[in-house]
Structures are given as C-alpha cells and as structure tokens.
Amino acid sequence: MGGRNGFRVFSLAALIVAVTAVGVHAQSDSAAGQHLGRNAPARETSPDEHLAMPAFPSNWTQATVQSGSIEIYEYLPQGQSPTTWTDKITLEVHHDTYTLPVDIYQRRALGQMRENCDGVFEGNLQTGVNNGYPAAYWTLGCKRSRTGDYGETRYTKAIQGGVTLYLLSRSWRTPIYGDEGPPLPPQAIQEARDFLGSSVVCASGGVHPCPAGDKSPRP
C-alpha cells in the first residue's frame, strides 16, 4: 500500500521478513534458553577485539555515553537530540558476559517495551554465526508510546565475542501505527539491513577478520 511523501506502509509480517537477512547465518528460528555459543565454533579472545561498523551512516555523531561494566553509546544524525530524535543507533557493550542465554536480552528488551507501549509486535528470534562469532537478530515494535505521541521500531543484532557481548540496534520514532505496520520508507529498511548486516565483531590475526577500510567510530 502506498503512502505520502515517499513512505510505504509495511504490514508487520512483511516488515519482519524484509529485515531478517542481516548477515546472521541462521541455525534455528527459536533460541529460548539456549546460549549464543551453542553449536558455534570455539571462541577466541583478543585484546583488540571490537565491533566494526563499515556501513555506519555519515554525518552521525555520538550523543550519549554510559561507562562501566556495561557501556552504552548512542549515535544520532546531525540536528537531532537525545530527547527529540527520530533516528538512533545504540551500541551496548557488556563486558565479561558470555554465559547467559541470548533470549535473556531479547526478553529484557521486550519487557521494557511492553511497559512503555500500548501495543507491541515481536519478530522471531533468529540465531546463527557472524564472522565466526555466535550471533542473533530480532525485531521489536512499539505501536504507541505511553510517554509521547509516537511509535517506535527497533532492529537489534547481538554478537557474542570472546568474553564480551555486543548489542547493536537501529531505531526509528514514527507516527503511531496499528497492525498495518510502521510507516518506514523502503530505503530506510535497506540501509538498516546493510548497516546491521555488515557490522561484525573482529580482531586482528585470527579467524575473525576486520573489514577493509573500516572508518566506523571506535567506542
């Protein structure tokens, strides 16, 4: 169904299908209670392990930082603020985290969204391997926020490094929506797929090579 201003309204089912292939080679459609490392190659540790984001969008800047055992970095396009954003990239770096099941983090995000939204949709949890590391992907949507007149859509990719878990999300604030899905332009969905699909945890001199010419920000 077409929309105004170049936007296309996606059904929730079509939206989930459109963003599933993000560089995670799937092993199963459900990972309830499973560890990210299950059935995956043995992990290595490296002092220069990091998340590379070669398709990081230009003219985006770091907006907020939280330090500690869980580091959180938020990036916004120029001209947007932490309170009035419509586009956001969030990176969570969980240090010394490699024993919890991946669905713990997906369920935590789902629980937070249910607390803050009237109407939530949830895509299937997909698990697999990305650049030799265990990885997962999920989609969540908030049809109407309880704190403002907007909806939200979020795609998240989780990668379990040697002893660090990386959660990378691309989010949008949109007009309130229903079962017809959020009004996202096709180009935005494709850019999100490219961004998440090309983002990898990597390290030098091992089986987890870093992409050439990567100029993404290093937290």
Query: 22-26, 92-96, 156-160, 190-194 — which is least confidently predicted?
Result: 22-26
Looking at residue 23, its pLDDT comes to 59
Is there a contact between 135 and 112 (Cβ–Cβ < 8 Å)?
no
CATH number, domain containing residue 47 = 3.40.1000.10
How far is residue 155's CA from residue 198's CA, in Å, rounded to a whole number? 14
Looking at residue 100, its pLDDT comes to 74
From residue 81, give the alpha-carbon distance in Å to each of 8, 72, 84, 88, 96. 26, 16, 5, 10, 31
Looking at residue 27, its pLDDT comes to 42
Helix (H, G, I), strand (E, B) or coil at 114: helix
Task: pLDDT band for 31, please (50, 70, 90 cuts).
Answer: very low
Residue 75 lies in a domain: yes
Task: pLDDT band for 11, please (50, 70, 90 cuts).
Answer: very low
- The whole domain housing 162 covers 4-202
Residue 66 lies in a domain: yes
Residue 208 lies in a domain: no
As for how many domains the chain has, the answer is 1
Residue 12 lies in a domain: yes
Helix (H, G, I), strand (E, B) or coil at 117: strand
Q: Which two tokens stand for residue 16?
A: 């989930």
Residue 27 lies in a domain: yes
Mean pLDDT of the chain: 82
Q: What is the DSSP string of 56-106?
A: PPTTEEEEEEE-SSEEEEEEEETT--TTT-SEEEEEEEEET--SSBHHHHH
Residue 146 lies in a domain: yes
Q: Which of residues 39 and 177 earns the better pLDDT score?
A: 177
Residue 118 lies in a domain: yes
Percent over 70 (pLDDT), the chain: 79
Residue 218 lies in a domain: no
pTM (predicted TM-score): 0.82
Tens digits of residue pLDDT in 46-101: 788 999 999 999 999 998 888 889 999 999 999 999 999 999 999 999 998 877 77
